[in-house]
C-alpha cells in the first residue's frame, strides 16, 4: 500500500472541551424515541393484517411474479368453485372450497409477511413524525436583524439563532458558538452531545433540542428534504428499492414459475391421452405447490427486515444495495480522528527550540491560533492562556487571518509586517526557508519525540518584521486518545475476513503509533482527500469491496466512492450526504454490526431459497401420484408417504404450502444466525440444515395434515 501521501491535516474532527464558564449540561429529557416494539405487539399485528388486505391490489402484486401467479390461480379456482356450486357432489364441493380457501390464504400470508416486516418501520416513522412537529425559527437577516418565521419557510443558506430550550428548526451546520444538544429524538440516547462551529462536529439535525448556550445554524436542507424526513421515508419503506441480488433472484423465480406454468399447461393434454383428465382446481393446486411460493412470499420481507435490523442498531441505510454490499466487504478504511480516536486532539505541551523562551513560543502559538475556529486552534489558545495569564483572547482580532488549506497545511495571522504560522512541520519548515530563515535540526528531533508518543506535532514560526527572516520557534504537542475496545473490535473484524486500514492526515510516526495501539492491519499517513479516493479505487480495481467510515467534510469524496460509506451522525452535513449509511450513535465499531446484518441478510435469503426449492420435491411426491394413480396404478409406488386419497393428498400439500409461509415469517424477520467462518463452511451448513431440512420437513408435515384431514372427516 502506498503510504507516501502528500499532506497532513491540522484542522480536525475533535470535540472541544466545555468552556470553563459553561454549566454542566443537564441530562436530556427522554423525548419521543423511535418505536422499537415487538413485531408481535397488537398494534403492529393489526396494521399488518390491514396492510395485507390492501396489498391484494393486482397492481401491487404484479411486482412479485410468483405471488401474482398464485393470485391469478386463486381467482381462477374461485370461479371454478362457484361454477360447481350447484352440483350435488358434496365431497367435491368441500375439496374445492378448501383448496380455494388455502390458495387465497397463500396470497394473504405472503402479503402479511411483507406487511409485518414493514410494521416496525411504520411505527418508528409515526414516532419520528411526532418529533418533527411544527417549529418556528429565529432567522438572522444579512443586516443583523432577526425575524421569527415558520420552519416550513426556511431556505437553504438562512442563518437561524437557536438558544437553550429551543428546537433546531432544520438540518444545518453550526457557524457560531458551542452548545450541548439533545439528540434523543433521533438516536434514542439520552446523553447530550456537543455541537460547535468549525471542525467536524458542526452538523445539527432538525427536530433536536439545544440544552445550553446559544448557537447560530446555517440551514443546509429544504423543508421536506431534511434528514428527519428522509429517515421517515426510509424506515417505513416508502423509498425502498429492490437490490441487484433481489432483482436477480426475482428473475430466477419468475423463470422457474414460467417453466412450471408451461409444464402444468402441457400436462392436461397428456392426462387426457392417458384417460386421466384433471380438474382445473387440481392443476392450479399443482402449479401453486410446484412454483417457489415460499421464497417468493418471503423475499421482500427478508430485505425489509435486514434494513430494520440496522435501524434497531441506530444505523440508517439509505439503500438496500448498501446493506447487501456490507455483507461482502473485504476492506475497511477508517478515518483516525473522531473515528478510531476520541477526536479531541488538544494542546498538551509547548516545546521551544534552543534560544527561544517559553513565553515567546506561547505568545506566537496563541496569536497564530486566534483566528483558528477548529477545536485544536481553540485548545491552543486556552492552553497558552491558562499557562500564561497575560495571554487573553481579544474581543476583536486585528490583522489578516490566514486560514488553513489542504495545500498550505498551515494557518496563522498577519499584522503590521509580523507574520505567525502554525501547521504541519514540513509545511512550516518550507515556509521558513522560503522567507529567508534557517530551520535548526532540533525542530525535527522535537517533532519526532511528539510523534513517537502518538501525538501530533505542530510547528510554530514567525517573521518579526518586514525586513526580518522567518524563524522557527518550537512545537505544539497535540494529543489524541484511541477509543476503548478498538483493538478487540478490530480483531473481531479480522476473524470475519475484513482487513482494516486507518487513514489519517497525520505524519507517519504518529500514524504508526496510533495504528499499533488500535490494532489495525495497515495505515495510510499524510493522506489528502485525493489520496483517500485513489486508495479506495485501487482496492476496488483489485476486486475488493470497500467500506469507509468517516465524519469530516474531507471524507465526503471517499465516502461517496466506497461500496459502503458509513458517516458518523456527529460529522458534517457533507459527510452524511455522501454516505449511504449514517451511524446515529457515531460509533465506528458499529461497522461490525453492519457487516453482520449484511451477511445475515444474504445467508437468510440463501437459506430460505434452498428450503423453498427442497420443499417442491416433497410436494411433487404428494400431488403427482395422487393425480394419476387411478389411471396409472404403477405410480402408486411413488406415494411413499402413504397418503389416504387423491383429494386429501392435494389438499394437504396446498395447506402445507400456505402454512409454511407463516411458519417461516419469524425466521425471515429475525434472520438466520450468522457464524464467522469460510464460505465453504457456510454453504455446507446451509445445505445440511435448510436443504436436508427442507426436504424432510414437508414429508412429515404433509403426512400429519393428511392424517388430520381424514381423522376430522373433512373429506
Question: Per-residue pLDDT tens for 85-106?
Answer: 877 778 888 999 999 999 999 9
Q: Residue 586's beta-bridge partner residues?
A: none
> What pLDDT shows up at residue 40?
56
Give the cell for residue 519: 490494532
Q: Which of 335, 563, 587, 593 is catalytic?
A: 335
Contact 210, 168 (CB under 8 A): yes
CA angle 180, 186, 187 (to 5 degrees): 80
Please provide residue 75's backbone torsions phi and psi, each rounded to the nearest 5 degrees. -65, -45
Contact 620, 264 (CB under 8 A): no
Return the number of other C-beta atoms located less than 10 Å from residue 460's C-beta.
Answer: 33
- Taking Cα atoms as reference points, which of 497, 192, 165, 532 lies closest to residue 339? 532
Give the cell for residue 226: 431534511
* More confidently predicted of 304 and 571: 304
State yes or no: is 335 an active-site residue. Answer: yes
What are the C-alpha distances in Å from 520 to residues 333, 488, 515, 516, 548?
10, 10, 6, 7, 14
Give the cell for residue 564: 459502503
pLDDT band of residue 2 (cuts 50, 70, 90) is very low
> 134-142: long-range contacts at Cβ-Cβ below 8 A with a sequence spacing of 24 or more?
135/167, 135/169, 135/206, 135/207, 136/169, 137/162, 137/169, 137/170, 138/162, 138/166, 140/216
pLDDT band of residue 140 (cuts 50, 70, 90) is very high
pLDDT band of residue 128 (cuts 50, 70, 90) is low
Q: Is the confidence at residue 601, as pLDDT, over 80? A: yes
> What pLDDT shows up at residue 34?
40
Query: Phi/psi class of residue 188: alpha, beta or left (left: φ > 0; alpha: ψ in -120 to 50)?
Result: left
> What pLDDT shows up at residue 129?
64
CATH 3.40.50.1000: which residues of the chain?
A: 333-340+483-580
What is the H or E stretch that residue 311 is in?
Answer: helix 293-312
- Spatial distance between the Cα atoms of 422 and 402, rounded to a whole number of angstroms: 10
Average pLDDT over residues 510-526: 87
Residues 6 or more apart from 43 whose CB is under 8 A from it? 37, 123
> What pLDDT shows up at residue 216?
92
pLDDT band of residue 27 (cuts 50, 70, 90) is very low
> What pLDDT shows up at residue 344?
65
pLDDT band of residue 203 (cuts 50, 70, 90) is confident
pLDDT band of residue 22 (cuts 50, 70, 90) is very low
> 351-354: long-range contacts at Cβ-Cβ below 8 A with a sequence spacing of 24 or more?
351/446, 351/449, 351/450, 351/474, 351/475, 351/476, 351/477, 352/473, 352/474, 353/440, 353/442, 353/443, 353/446, 353/472, 353/473, 353/474, 354/440, 354/442
**pTM confidence score:** 0.66
pLDDT band of residue 13 (cuts 50, 70, 90) is very low
* More confidently predicted of 444 and 408: 444
What is the H or E stretch that residue 378 is in?
Answer: helix 375-387
CATH 3.40.1110.10: which residues of the chain?
A: 346-476
Q: Rounded to the nearest 10 degrees, what angle do helices 646-670 and 692-711 cross at?
A: 130
* More confidently predicted of 440 and 189: 440
> What pLDDT shows up at residue 636?
74
In degrees to the nearest 10, what's the CA dihedral of 659, 661, 662, 667? 140
pLDDT band of residue 10 (cuts 50, 70, 90) is very low
Residues 6 or more apart from 504 whose CB is under 8 A from it? 9, 335, 336, 337, 510, 511, 514, 523, 524, 525, 526, 527
* More confidently predicted of 699 and 480: 699
pLDDT band of residue 466 (cuts 50, 70, 90) is confident
pLDDT band of residue 530 (cuts 50, 70, 90) is confident
Contact 289, 616 (CB under 8 A): yes
Average pLDDT over residues 603-623: 86
Span of 27-31, 229-233, 475-479, 591-595 with lowest mean pLDDT: 27-31
Q: Is the confidence at residue 712, as pLDDT, over 90? A: no
In the chain, % of residues over pLDDT 70: 86
pLDDT band of residue 242 (cuts 50, 70, 90) is low
Task: Specify binding-site residues.
Answer: 372, 376, 404-411, 422, 551, 555
Span of 177-186, 291-300, 392-401, 685-694 with lowest mean pLDDT: 392-401
Q: Rounded to the nearest 10 degrees, what angle do helices 486-495 and 591-628 cross at?
A: 30
Task: Specify binding-site residues for ATP.
Answer: 372, 376, 404-411, 422
> What pLDDT shows up at residue 233?
66
What is the H or E stretch that residue 214 is in?
Answer: strand 214-219
State which of 22-31, 35-44, 341-350, 665-674 shows the largest mean pLDDT. Answer: 665-674
For residue 323, with 0-12 CB atoms within 10 Å meaning exposed, 13-18 middle and 19 or more buried, which class applies? buried
CATH 2.70.150.10: which residues of the chain?
A: 137-220
> What pLDDT shows up at residue 557?
87
Give Dmax (Cα) for the chain.
Answer: 116
Coarse DSSP helix, strand, coil percentages of the chain, rounded to the nearest 5 percent: 50, 15, 35
CATH superfamily name and code, 346-476: Calcium-transporting ATPase, cytoplasmic domain N (3.40.1110.10)
> What pLDDT shows up at residue 620?
80
> What pLDDT shows up at residue 298?
92
> What pLDDT shows up at residue 134?
61
- Spatial distance between the Cα atoms of 347 and 625, rounded to a whole number of angstroms: 82
Average pLDDT taken over every residue of the chain: 81
- Spatial distance between the Cα atoms of 140 and 160, rounded to a whole number of angstroms: 6
- Spatial distance between the Cα atoms of 547 and 579, rounded to a whole number of angstroms: 10
Q: Is the confidence at residue 659, as pLDDT, over 90? A: yes
Detail the DSSP E strand segments found in 416-541. Answer: 418-423, 456-463, 470-479, 499-503, 522-524
Q: 420-439 pLDDT, tens per residue?
A: 999 999 999 999 999 999 99
- Spatial distance between the Cα atoms of 138 and 391, rounded to a whole number of angstroms: 35
Contact 581, 559 (CB under 8 A): no
CATH 3.90.1300.10, applies to 333-340+483-580: no
Task: Specify binding-site residues for Mg(2+).
Answer: 551, 555
Residue 307: alpha-carbon gap to chain centroid: 8
- Helix and strand element counts for the chain (H, E): 23, 22
Residue 348: alpha-carbon gap to chain centroid: 36
Residues 6 or more apart from 540 whose CB is under 8 A from it? 546, 561, 563
> What pLDDT shows up at residue 29?
31
Q: Which CATH number fits domain 137-220: 3.30.70.20, 2.70.150.10, 1.10.10.10, 3.40.630.10?
A: 2.70.150.10
* More confidently predicted of 58 and 569: 58
| Helical segments of 542-638, H only | 556-561, 573-578, 591-628
Amino acid at each position: 500500500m502506498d503510504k507516501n501521501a502528500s499532506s497532513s491535516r491540522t484542522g480536525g474532527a475533535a470535540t472541544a472541551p466545555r468552556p470553563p464558564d459553561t454549566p454542566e449540561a443537564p441530562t436530556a429529557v427522554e423525548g419521543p424515541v423511535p418505536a422499537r416494539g415487538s413485531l408481535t405487539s397488537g398494534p403492529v399485528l393489526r396494521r399488518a393484517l390491514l396492510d395485507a388486505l390492501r396489498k391484494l391490489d393486482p397492481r401491487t402484486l404484479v411486482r412479485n411474479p410468483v405471488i401474482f401467479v398464485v393470485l391469478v390461480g386463486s381467482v381462477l379456482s374461485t370461479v371454478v368453485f362457484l361454477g360447481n356450486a350447484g352440483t350435488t357432489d358434496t365431497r367435491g364441493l368441500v375439496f374445492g372450497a378448501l383448496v380455494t380457501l388455502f390458495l387465497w390464504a397463500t396470497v394473504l400470508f405472503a402479503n402479511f409477511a411483507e406487511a409485518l416486516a414493514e410494521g416496525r418501520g411504520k411505527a418508528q416513522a409515526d414516532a419520528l413524525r411526532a418529533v418533527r412537529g411544527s417549529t418556528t425559527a429565529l432567522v438572522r437577516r444579512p443586516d443583523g436583524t432577526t425575524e421569527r418565521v415558520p420552519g416550513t419557510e426556511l431556505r437553504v443558506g438562512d442563518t437561524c439563532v437557536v438558544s437553550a430550550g429551543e428546537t433546531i428548526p432544520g438540518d444545518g451546520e453550526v457557524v457560531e458558538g458551542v452548545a450541548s444538544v439533545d439528540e434523543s429524538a433521533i438516536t434514542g440516547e439520552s446523553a447530550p452531545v456537543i455541537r460547535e462551529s468549525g471542525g467536524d462536529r458542526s452538523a445539527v439535525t432538525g427536530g433536536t433540542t439545544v440544552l445550553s448556550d446559544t448557537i447560530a445554524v446555517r440551514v443546509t436542507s429544504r423543508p421536506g428534504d431534511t434528514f428527519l424526513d428522509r429517515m421517515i421515508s426510509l424506515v417505513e419503506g416508502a423509498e425502498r428499492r429492490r437490490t441487484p441480488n433481489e432483482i436477480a433472484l426475482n428473475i430466477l423465480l419468475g423463470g422457474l414459475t414460467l417453466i412450471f406454468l408451461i409444464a402444468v399447461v402441457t400436462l392436461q393434454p397428456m392426462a387426457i391421452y392417458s384417460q386421466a383428465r384433471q380438474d382445473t382446481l387440481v392443476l392450479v393446486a399443482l402449479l401453486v405447490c410446484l412454483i417457489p411460493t415460499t421464497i417468493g412470499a418471503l423475499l421482500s420481507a427478508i430485505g425489509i427486515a435486514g434494513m430494520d435490523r440496522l435501524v434497531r442498531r441506530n444505523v440508517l441505510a439509505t439503500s438496500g444495495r448498501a446493506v447487501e454490499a456490507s455483507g461482502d466487504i473485504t476492506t475497511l478504511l477508517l478515518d483516525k480522528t473522531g473515528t478510531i480516536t476520541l477526536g479531541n486532539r488538544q494542546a498538551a505541551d509547548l516545546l521551544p527550540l534552543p534560544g527561544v523562551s517559553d513565553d515567546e513560543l506561547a505568545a506566537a502559538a496563541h496569536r497564530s491560533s486566534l483566528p483558528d475556529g477548529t477545536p485544536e486552534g481553540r485548545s491552543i489558545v486556552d492552553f497558552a492562556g491558562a499557562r500564561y495569564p497575560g495571554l487573553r483572547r481579544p474581543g476583536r482580532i486585528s490583522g489578516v487571518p490566514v486560514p488553513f488549506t489542504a495545500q498550505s497545511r498551515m494557518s496563522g495571522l498577519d499584522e503590521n509586517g509580523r507574520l505567525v504560522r502554525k501547521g504541519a512541520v514540513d509545511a512550516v519548515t518550507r515556509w521558513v526557508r522560503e522567507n529567508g530563515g534557517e530551520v535548526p535540526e532540533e525542530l525535527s528531533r522535537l517533532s519526532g519525540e511528539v510523534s513517537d508518543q502518538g501525538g501530533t506535532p505542530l510547528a510554530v514560526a514567525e517573521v518579526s518584521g518586514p525586513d526580518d527572516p522567518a524563524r522557527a520557534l518550537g512545537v505544539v504537542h497535540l494529543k489524541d486518545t484511541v477509543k476503548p475496545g478498538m483493538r478487540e473490535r478490530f480483531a473481531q473484524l479480522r476473524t470475519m475476513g475484513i482487513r482494516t486500514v486507518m487513514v489519517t492526515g497525520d505524519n507517519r510516526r504518529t500514524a504508526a503509533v496510533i495504528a499499533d495501539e488500535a490494532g489495525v492491519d495497515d495505515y495510510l499517513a499524510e493522506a489528502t482527500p485525493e489520496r483517500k479516493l485513489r486508495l479506495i479505487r485501487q482496492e476496488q480495481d483489485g476486486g475488493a469491496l470497500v467500506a469507509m467510515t468517516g465524519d469530516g467534510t474531507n471524507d465526503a469524496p471517499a465516502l461517496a466512492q466506497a461500496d459502503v460509506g458509513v458517516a458518523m451522525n456527529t460529522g458534517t452535513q457533507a459527510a452524511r450526504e455522501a454516505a449511504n449509511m449514517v451511524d446515529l450513535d457515531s460509533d465506528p465499531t458499529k461497522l461490525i454490526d453492519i457487516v453482520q446484518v449484511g451477511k445475515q441478510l444474504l445467508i437468510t435469503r440463501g437459506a430460505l431459497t434452498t428450503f423453498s426449492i427442497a420443499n417442491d420435491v416433497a410436494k411433487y411426491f404428494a400431488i403427482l401420484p395422487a393425480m394419476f394413480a387411478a389411471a396409472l396404478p404403477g405410480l402408486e409406488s411413488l406415494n411413499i408417504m402413504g397418503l389416504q386419497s387423491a383429494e386429501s393428498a392435494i389438499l394437504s400439500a396446498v395447506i402445507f404450502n400456505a402454512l409454511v409461509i407463516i411458519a417461516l415469517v419469524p425466521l425471515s424477520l429475525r434472520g438466520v444466525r450468522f457464524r464467522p467462518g469460510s464460505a465453504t463452511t457456510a454453504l455446507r451448513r446451509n445445505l445440511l440444515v435448510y436443504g436436508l431440512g427442507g426436504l424432510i420437513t414437508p414429508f412429515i408435515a404433509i403426512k400429519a395434515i393428511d392424517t388430520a384431514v381424514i381423522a376430522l372427516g373433512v373429506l
